[in-house]
Each structure stands twice: as C-alpha cells, then as structure tokens.
C-alpha cells in the first residue's frame, strides 16, 4: 500500500537482499547501516534521537530509497510485550452491556451510567489489568494473518502501542514519558472460542492459544517518536474490515493513560528498550458485531499520525 510519513519515523525494511533499520521521512527511507537493528538504536536512544532531525532533513532533498520500493516489516523485535485489557471506556461499557444478567431490569442507559461510575472509581482507586504477549506472534503491517482451523471465532483489536526507549523500573507517573521513545500500531488478533475453554476456565483465560499464534500481532508500520506527536491523547484509532468501519475512538478515552500504564508495569517488572506496551482496544471487536474473520477478509488498522496496516486473512497451512 502507498504510505507517506509527515515528519519522520523509524522502521525495519527489506530490499530483497536483507532487512535493515531505516529512517523514513515523506516517501523516502534512509538506511541506518551503522545503527544495527531498530532495537539496537533504541538501546542507545538518548544519544541517537538527537541525530534524527538532521538525517530526516537530508531525505527532503531526494536522498535515500523510495519507500514504495521496499517491504515494510514489523519495526522492532521486542524483548517483552505487555498488553492492557479492558482499558477503553467504550470497550468496558460494551462488556457491561453484553454480560448483563438475565434478571437485570436496568435499561441500557442505566447500565451505561453505572458503568461510567464504576470506571471513574476504578481510574481513581484501582489498577490496570495486564497480560503478556509473545514476540513470536508478531508479523509485519502488510503480512497475511493466518486463521487456524481449530478456531471459528477469530477477531481483531486495534491498539495504540507505546515503545520503550529507556530502561524503566519503578518509574513514577510524572516521569513515565521519559521512558517512551515513540508509538506504533498493533492489532491484537484473538481466537475467542479458544480463550476460555471449559476445562481451563477455573484457571483463567488461555492467552497462549487464543492470542499468541503466529501472525496474531500485526505491528507497525513505523515507530513515530514522541516528539513528532503533539499529544498522543488526540490520536484517532480506527479499524476497517473490508472497508467498513468497525472500531473508532481517540486515546483520550483510555481508562488508564500511557503514563499510568508505564508506571504500573515498571513496578511489576523491568522494561527494556524496544519493549511494547499495548494500551488496550476500543469497542467494536468481532464479539460486538458477532462477525468473525474469514479467509479473504482485509483488516486495515490505523492511528492518525502513525500509519495504517493492511493485512489479508488466509487459512493457516496445515
């Protein structure tokens, strides 16, 4: 697909002979041969980030390689993937409405108001819900998504994703953004009928079988540094299925914002450069629509200012 970057961003690309880290500005890419991988660059982010504006300026004079001639791969190989669940107000309200007890006589509007009060209380006094992902699930922003034969209820969840640029452990909220290098797009694909199997339900969800299959985490196209985005809360987050809008929200509606997530995760573990924190998904996944992915479906997950993925669903080879 045709892409163009306002300002500049980082990515991983292939020219057919191998993969390389690159800086993309407009529709041109500069090879960063001396930097190693994007994760290597993030390991030295404090020193390297100041060099990027000058390098990007060189591309405005026609340097580099046309983006259209390259394959865009997932922008980084993280050591860890941390995912926040039920972290959009719209999604939580949707869950409350869809899981009402049969004898609950409240109207939808009453349920929504009660859900809003519950979310306000949780944001004030509670904590985010996290689970971990596997880097092996990552695929590129244009790769096929493989649908496993053992699932008939695979769906989607577009998510704003923070990319760590500085080691973080027990970071206070007010310093959390110092540890975020930038943002990218992830699509948390899930096999819902494998997530809570009856035999394992007392132990919780089966996150490996449901969410960590090969290609179940399309990532990219690029990492846009924080200084290239005015305010991440204003970013528009959308997902289209075969051209039909299924998800739409803004990051301002996160129940726990990026600062809260980074602080909470860093209290539980040590975050390293290149690690990903998926911030949660808005309402409108497959369960809401009772529409599950089929071979031939095309997913377009995008975030304003960052970019768009375009993944086609195909049967997993057996």
> What is the rounded average pLDDT of the residues 269-282?
97
> What is the rounded average pLDDT of the residues 170-188?
98
Report the alpha-carbon distance of residue 134 to residue 79 in Å, rounded. 9
**At 86, is the pLDDT very low, low, confident or very high (cuts 50, 70, 90)?**
confident
> What is the rounded average pLDDT of the residues 192-213?
90
**At 177, is the pLDDT very low, low, confident or very high (cuts 50, 70, 90)?**
very high
Q: Tell me whether the omega of the peptide bond preceding residue 7 falls within 30 degrees of 0, making it cis.
A: no
**At 200, is the pLDDT very low, low, confident or very high (cuts 50, 70, 90)?**
confident
Greater confidence (273 vs 90) lies with 273
Residues whose CB is less than 8 angstroms from the CB of residue 3 and which lie 6 or more positions away in sequence, other chains included:
27, 67, 72, 221, 307, 308
Residues whose CB is less than 8 angstroms from the CB of residue 277 and which lie 6 or more positions away in sequence, other chains included:
82, 83, 84, 161, 162, 164, 258, 261, 262, 265, 271
Per-residue pLDDT tens for 226-253? 999 999 999 999 999 999 999 999 999 9
Report the alpha-carbon distance of residue 59 to residue 186 in Å, rounded. 27
Mean pLDDT of the chain, nearest integer: 92
Tokens describing residue 144: 């096929």
CATH of domain 81-315: 3.90.850.10
35 neighbors 21 (Cβ within 8 angstroms): yes
pLDDT higher than 70, residue 92: no
299 neighbors 306 (Cβ within 8 angstroms): no
pLDDT higher than 70, residue 98: no
> What is the rounded average pLDDT of the residues 85-107?
71
Q: Of the candidates 53, 14, 19, 17, which has an alpha carbon nearest to the alpha carbon of residue 36?
A: 19
pTM exceeds 0.85: yes
Could you say which DSSP state residue 287 is in? H
pLDDT higher than 70, residue 37: yes
**At 99, is the pLDDT very low, low, confident or very high (cuts 50, 70, 90)?**
low
Q: Give me the residue spans of the domains in the chain.
A: 5-73, 81-315
Q: Is beta strand 307-308 parallel, antiparallel or unpaired with respect to 224-225?
A: unpaired
pLDDT score of 97: 61
Q: Check the CA dihedral 267-269-273-277 and report its sign.
A: negative
> What is the rounded average pLDDT of the residues 13-23?
96
Q: Phi and psi of 52, rounded to 5°?
A: -65, -40
Report the alpha-carbon distance of residue 300 to residue 281 in Å, rounded. 14
Report the alpha-carbon distance of residue 138 to residue 94 in Å, rounded. 27
**At 101, is the pLDDT very low, low, confident or very high (cuts 50, 70, 90)?**
confident
């Amino acid at each position: 697909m045709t892409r163009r970057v306002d300002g500049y961003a980082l990515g991983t690309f292939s020219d057919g002979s191998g993969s390389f880290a690159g800086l993309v500005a407009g529709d041109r890419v500069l090879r960063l041969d001396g930097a190693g991988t994007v994760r290597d660059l993030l390991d030295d982010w404090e020193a390297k980030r100041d060099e990027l504006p000058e390098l990007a300026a060189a591309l405005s004079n026609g340097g580099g390689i046309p983006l259209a001639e390259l394959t865009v791969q997932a922008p980084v190989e993280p050591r860890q993937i941390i995912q926040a669940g039920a972290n959009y107000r719209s999604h939580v309200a949707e869950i409350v409405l869809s899981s009402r007890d049969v004898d609950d006589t409240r109207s939808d509007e009453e349920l929504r108001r009660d859900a809003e009060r519950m979310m306000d209380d949780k944001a004030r006094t509670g904590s985010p819900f996290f689970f971990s992902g596997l880097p092996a699930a990552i695929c590129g922003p244009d790769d096929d998504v493989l649908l496993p034969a053992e699932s008939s209820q695979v769906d989607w969840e577009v998510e704003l994703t923070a990319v760590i640029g500085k080691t973080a452990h027990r970071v206070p909220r007010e310093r959390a953004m110092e540890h975020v290098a930038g943002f990218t797009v992830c699509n948390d694909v899930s096999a819902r009928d494998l997530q809570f199997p009856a035999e394992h339900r007392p132990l919780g969800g089966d996150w490996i079988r449901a969410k960590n299959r090969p290609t179940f985490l399309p990532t990219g196209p690029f990492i846009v540094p924080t200084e290239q985005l005015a305010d991440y809360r204003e970013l528009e987050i959308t997902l289209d299925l075969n051209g039909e809008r299924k998800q739409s929200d803004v990051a301002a509606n996160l129940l726990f914002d990026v600062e809260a997530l980074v602080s909470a995760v860093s209290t539980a573990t040590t975050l390293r450069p290149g690690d990903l924190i998926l911030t949660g998904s808005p309402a409108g996944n497959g369960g809401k629509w009772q529409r599950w992915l089929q071979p031939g479906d095309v997913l377009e997950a995008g975030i304003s200012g960052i970019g768009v993925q375009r993944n086609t669903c195909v049967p997993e080879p057996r």
